[in-house]
Amino acid sequence: MRQRVLIAISLAAKPELIIADEPTTAVDVTTQAKILKLLLELRENKGTSLLVITHNLGVIAEICDRVCVMYAGQIAEVGKVSDIFKHPFHPYTQGLMNSIHDIGDKSELEAIAGYVPILLHPPSGCRFHPRCPQVMDTCIQKPNLTEHEAGHHVHCWLYQRVEE
């Protein structure tokens, strides 16, 4: 109930941008659907921009055009939702996509090996490198955010262009 009241109050000012931090967490499925419908209507009918912060990939797929995947406070990959969900490049994003199943899929979920780092003392370079199945020596240095395909950027040494 509190979440709905806060949403109503924030919409009264007719904002150009709504920052929704976990808008569907801790609400029942019916309320979740209403919140997502409202956010979509605001975006499509009022031209309101949305910045949605969530761990729920279903919410992202339903209401977002672009996504920024982050790991331990560092950008891993940025692009169109459809591109990243179908063809993730960063090993973390690949692991994330492999950890979800279609309805009826009975195979075992794939977990990402290792442990989430303690962010008081994050790993150097790519923060995913201690867990990465494709880790290289250069991963202890921070890679640049590189446009690997049009509009699809990745923060990974696997996709860095070699300087000539």
Confidence at residue 164, expressed as pLDDT on a 0 to 100 scale: 35
Question: In 3D, which of 58, 121, 133, 51 has the Cα closest to residue 90?
Answer: 133
CA distance 96 to 112: 8
Confidence at residue 161, expressed as pLDDT on a 0 to 100 scale: 66
**Cα-flanking dihedrals φ and ψ of residue 149, to 5°?**
-135, 165
- The segments of the chain whose pLDDT lies below 50 read 163-164
As beta bridge partners, residue 99 has none
* Cβ contact 97:109 at 8 Å: no
Predicted structure pTM score: 0.84
Please name each of the domains of the chain with its CATH number: 1-64 (3.40.50.300), 66-164 (no CATH)
CA distance 154 to 112: 19
Total residue count of the chain as it appears in this document: 164
Q: What share of the chain is helix, strand, coil (3-state, %, to 5)?
A: 35, 20, 50
Q: Which helix (H) or strand (E) segment is 98 a member of? A: helix 91-98
